[in-house]
Amino acid sequence: MKTLVWVEHDNASVKDATLAAVTAAAQLGEVHLIVAGAGCAGVAEQAAKIAGVGKVHLADNAAYEHALAENVAPLIADLMGHHDAFVAPATSNGKNVAPRVAALLDVMQVSDILSVEGPRTFTRPTYAGNAIATVESSDAKLVITVRGTAFAKAETSGGSGTVEAVAGGADAGLSSFVGAEIAKSERPELTSAKVIVSGGRALKDGPTFEQIIFPLADKLGAAVGASRAAVDAGYVPNDYQVGQTGKIVAPEVYIAVGISGAIQHLAGMKDSKTIIAINKDEDAPIFQVADIGLVADLFNAVPELTGKL
Amino acid sequence: MKILVPVKRVIDYNVKPRVKADGTGVDLANVKMSMNPFDEIAVEEAIRLKEKGVATEIVAVSVGPAKAQETLRTALAMGADRAILVQTDDEVEPLGVAKILKGIADEEQPGLVVLGKQAIDDDSNQTGQMLAALMGRPQGTFASKVEVEGDSVSVTREVDGGLETVKLALPAIVTTDLRLNEPRYASLPNIMKAKSKPLATKSPADYGVDTAPRLKTLKVSEPPVRQAGIKVADVDALVAKLKELGVA
């Protein structure tokens, strides 16, 4: 089977989410990549070095700069004439583009796969991860999105792919990019961090959240996350949110501070290797999934912990 | 401008789903069902656009069993003007739903289609994007802000790193994210009034759509359960554990 993997990038470098999608695709067969963007030749060079990669299709065109689905989906649908499966990471771009490709190909997409069970059989989470479905596709071609935390990351070196330019199509003229507010942070990205410190509603307000959570995260070189309650209360922006409707994470160590452990939140972090919970309510549901729990007032315990590390 | 709002009847978001013992699916017998929360946000957004004078008529649509009428009545009670139920007892996949919605859009010619980014039962996150592809129209997915300006709509989207704004030519498809708005509750008088609003019943065949599933569900199982671990007595013990884990 020949697969075509969507390379997630910012026109400068390959994003980690790509690597898990490559691992999933490699379980299906040959791995080819599509780098669609503007001024992104460097991304293609980098992508060609990913272990196990064959051809890298480079579509370098102003119409693809912001990965607008209206422009990118027809390009991929065209390339799918020579591939059997389109595999995208379940990032916001992947989730935006893949179903549009699927409909153009008259294929029912398999979303957010957790494992490859056979050439056309996959497991995927439903009901916020409360039920895992094993599904088999009967479509001639496959369109798949991949949950990043469920697959190991492919090595970023050792590959010897060849970059091949694809003639890009014109701008569909249906949509245009206006602007973005992308948070800049010195800390690691949530979805690829080894350690995450997350705060909940118990943090009271934005300044308190920063004062308590940020120093601990910085001491550990960790990314900062938050529960939906903390985001909805306006302590931190929405891109901090971990949970069913936020980011799905699975770091080595997840430290939940003042988070009660709503199902919604657990759905986003329960695959973390070690979960540590600090909460003053010893009956909080978070302790039912935590490997290490500390029942304490976070306003005393967290600064003390930061000081002792 | 007319707005089409597709809504889905799903298990209520407060109910913890139980996997059937025989592994064929999730037990929905005698379980409270409600409108998919993301679709409620879509209905609310359409009503706000009507209140602003941008929209003139709101048509709610559902593809599902006879009981999905209740979900449509909820949309009507919130403020939709009329409803269409495409009745079927089969489970229709997002691709099939998108094809039916395309048929309805061809007849109704809406300026906007607003729907939830995903249904909380199958969590597919596909229908809006697929409908946009089939209609050959632009899509604004995961919307946290929607502003109609003349013959285009500005959509602010919740993306991985933050927010992104795109401008789409109308007609367009918008899928809603959680922070777009807080849906209103229907008042009792409006619930009564909704009973007399028009609700048409159709079938997938009326739109020439074959809803046979493309994905076969072989098995549904519970996720692996995490066991509770240990509790440490104080911060010093936690520091020691973090050192053991090699992160401190």
Could B162 and A180 be called an inter-chain contact, meaning their C-beta atoms sit closer than 8 Å? Answer: yes
Q: Is residue A183 predicted with pLDDT exceeding 80?
A: no
Predicted confidence at residue A216, as pLDDT, reads 97
- In angstroms, the CA A88 to CA A102 distance is 11
Complete domains list, chain A, with CATH:
2-165 (3.40.50.620), 190-308 (3.40.50.1220)
Using a CB-CB distance cutoff of 8 angstroms, which residues of chain A are in contact with residue B127?
99
Using one digit for the tens of pLDDT, what is the confidence trace for A39-55?
Answer: 999 999 999 999 999 99
Predicted confidence at residue B54, as pLDDT, reads 97
Neighbour tally for A281: CB within 10 Å: 13
- Hey, of A68, A86, A245, A271, which one would you mutate to test binding to chain B, going by the most B CBs within 10 A of its CB? A245
CA distance B183 to chain A (A): 15
Predicted confidence at residue A74, as pLDDT, reads 97
Predicted confidence at residue A113, as pLDDT, reads 98
Q: Is the dihedral of CA A34, A35, A41, A45 positive or negative?
A: negative
ipTM reported for the complex surpasses 0.90: yes
Q: Is residue A168 predicted with pLDDT exceeding 80?
A: no
CA distance A194 to chain B (A): 9
Predicted confidence at residue B16, as pLDDT, reads 86
Residue B195 structure tokens? 């009973």
Structural domain boundaries, residue B59? 2-244
Which domain CATH number covers B77?
3.40.50.620
Q: Among A218, A299, A143, A131, which residue's Cα sits nearest to residue B235?
A: A299
CA distance A106 to chain B (A): 8
Minimum-distance CB partner of B139 among A69, A191, A247: A69
Between the alpha carbon of residue A263 and those of residues A267, B1, B178, the distances in Å are 6, 39, 16
More confident residue, B14 or A18: A18
Query: Chain B neighbours among A 46-85 (CB < 8 Å)?
Result: 66, 68-70, 73
Using one digit for the tens of pLDDT, what is the confidence trace for A73-108?
Answer: 999 999 999 999 999 999 999 999 999 999 999 999
Q: Is residue A223 predicted with pLDDT exceeding 90?
A: yes
Using a CB-CB distance cutoff of 8 angstroms, which residues of chain B are in contact with residue A133?
217, 219-220
Using a CB-CB distance cutoff of 8 angstroms, which residues of chain A are in contact with residue B121?
126-127
A191: pLDDT confidence band, cut at 50, 70 and 90?
Answer: confident
For tokens 């988070």, name the residue: A259
Cβ proximity of A258 and A279 under 8 Å: yes
Using a CB-CB distance cutoff of 8 angstroms, which residues of chain B are in contact with residue A247?
160
Between the alpha carbon of residue B187 and those of residues B35, B71, B180, B194, the distances in Å are 16, 15, 22, 10
> Could you tell me if A102 lies within 8 Å of chain B, comparing CB atoms?
yes
Using one digit for the tens of pLDDT, what is the confidence trace for B9-65?
Answer: 999 988 889 999 999 999 999 999 999 999 999 999 999 999 999 999 999 999 999
What is the pTM assigned to this prediction?
A: 0.93
A263: pLDDT confidence band, cut at 50, 70 and 90?
Answer: confident
* Structural domain count, chain B: 1
Using one digit for the tens of pLDDT, what is the confidence trace for A111-161?
Answer: 999 999 999 999 999 998 899 999 999 999 999 999 998 999 999 999 999
Q: Residue-wise pLDDT tens for chain B (248 aa)?
A: 999 999 999 999 888 899 999 999 999 999 999 999 999 999 999 999 999 999 999 999 999 999 999 999 999 999 999 999 999 999 999 999 999 999 999 999 999 999 999 999 999 999 999 999 999 999 999 999 999 999 999 999 999 888 999 999 999 999 999 889 999 999 999 999 999 999 999 999 999 999 999 999 999 999 988 888 999 999 999 999 999 998 87
Angle between helices A69-79 and A92-104 (to 10 degrees): 60
Cβ proximity of B88 and B63 under 8 Å: yes
